[in-house]
Structure 1
């Protein structure tokens, strides 16, 4: 690897450290990133940990229609799924010939003159960490997206994952919160302190506060799931992230982000419980014993879950539950 690339990677790390402390403009990251991969357009977006929606943090060169597509419809495209599963930067050619027939290529990339590109799903905490955002790069010359550029982006990916981690920057956390969402700090004693802007329309339930305390007592860094059921079909949609220990504070803390939402795909509360236990590797017999219902009934719930979520098998259901945080807290 060239010395200039190594220096650029180090510079990205320095800029991210300053940006997280709100001491640098995130857009300043493009200059060293261009020395790693000479892109013609690029974008970094933040993922809302509660809704899964993306919002651009900084954009260099994409026009608004394409920028909007990348942060909305593209997230349900096959090529995004490939990038998320591989956990490394992928190029158009890595997806295969089918990519050049997709809507994103035919309607957006080809017309703009982009012949190659990278998609990198950003994570905080390494390859197995939680998804925090997305970076895309587009190139007019396909050869510019070579293996050296991919290797450089792979090395800088963990740093970029921290850049868009909303739990590390209160300003970006506030920016992502919708009117029906709230943020809190919770300590190991269960004390709750509002951390978001203005009023806090959502008070966390005892179930959710207990989940915060259990996370602090464990070695885990984060947790996503559904807390208590509220009115009708509304649930607490919860994202909990451990904060680094701060010496002046007497106990450890988490950031709790919470909003009200319905369960996905029309699944029922019982199906949520079954899915939660499937994600832990339990058999139908074990799940039945835990929920005090027969294994045959559990089997029917599993069939319903496969149909509703569109997953092919039990293993895919377990991956879906973990990846998307479709689990019941406190079970």
Structure 2
């Protein structure tokens, strides 16, 4: 992008504010240079698989709802941009577009007579959202406006890309290993495009309730293999964002020759439960709990329950099934 174009948007692109504020500032700067009656930025949430409104200047709710649903799934202009990886397209750039559902049933009733949409794609090819500009005067947007927006697309996409930072963290901490983004609603997305195993439903449920926090715990898959699971907060910085966990699951035997039952007891002890409470939670006798604690002290070499709790939290010796939110 040319420096003459980046200048007016530099402050918004480099701001430390949340994404909503920065998107609003971008639309304000764009409005000073591009003739329009309304403009908006829709953000792509790759984990939930949906679009949401990041900033909206003067579109009615009905139009924004259309942009974030039917338009991105069915509109021929959007699909043409997606297919050809083209830049911004106006209605007049697409033959017959004025006869489509979007124009006749949504845009024209809202008072618009011309418009433009631009898919926001990073230099690495990651789709991050869409910029919309509409006018009540079919002379606008002009050719120069299209050029302006096309020169801005990549920079705005980099600002909006919610996967870029998690990818960098994953490549630094665990290069080449499978990693997922999992949100509080249980939506899951593999961080890289390569084929990796789906997340087991039980593990997905555990991670979903812990999403947005930094955790480390152990989980045994249905085949009997133990894994060290690490969660890092990866919640995007926009308002009303669903908490997200950057998730790694690495096959790793339990240390100290611990058994699965001993790990459960250790987890509940680390959670602060008394022996009687541990017995009730696991439906075993308090005497059996006492024997497990003796074995844990002997295997780990720590002196007491406090030492066990400290060890458990430091080394992720916590059973995912017994983890507290």
Contact kept? 1:42, 1:136, Cα under 8 Å:
yes
The CA distance in 2 between the partners of 1:67 and 1:116, in whole Å, is: 16
Contact kept? 1:46, 1:164, Cα under 8 Å:
yes
2:193 equivalent to 1:223 = yes
Counterparts of 1:243-258 in structure 2 under 5 Å?
none
Deviation at 1:167, TM superposition (A): 2.9
* Distance of aligned partners of 1:17 and 1:139 in 2 relative to their CA distance in 1, 3 Å threshold: same
Matched position secondary structure for 2:198: strand
Deviation at 1:169, TM superposition (A): 7.2
Deviation at 1:131, TM superposition (A): 0.7
- Compute the RMSD of aligned alpha carbons: 4.1
Contact kept? 2:71, 2:78, Cα under 8 Å:
yes
Matched position secondary structure for 2:112: coil
Aligned to 1:69: 66
Contiguous gaps of at least 5 residues in structure 1: 171-183, 213-221, 235-252, 259-331
Bigger-Rg structure (1/2): 2
The match for 1:35 among 32, 37, 46 is: 32
Counterparts of 1:13-52 in structure 2 under 5 Å?
13-19=10-16, 25-52=22-49
Contiguous gaps of at least 5 residues in structure 2: 205-231, 235-244, 248-325
Aligned to 1:156: 152
Counterparts of 1:55-94 in structure 2 under 5 Å?
55-76=52-73, 77-84=75-82, 85-94=84-93
User: How many residues align structurally?
Assistant: 204
Contact kept? 1:194, 1:200, Cα under 8 Å:
no
* Distance of aligned partners of 1:55 and 1:257 in 2 relative to their CA distance in 1, 3 Å threshold: farther
Contact kept? 2:63, 2:110, Cα under 8 Å:
no
2:140 equivalent to 1:141 = no
Report the TM-score, using the length of structure 2 for normalisation: 0.52
The CA distance in 2 between the partners of 1:78 and 1:58, in whole Å, is: 24
* Distance of aligned partners of 1:91 and 1:226 in 2 relative to their CA distance in 1, 3 Å threshold: farther
Contact kept? 2:23, 2:41, Cα under 8 Å:
no
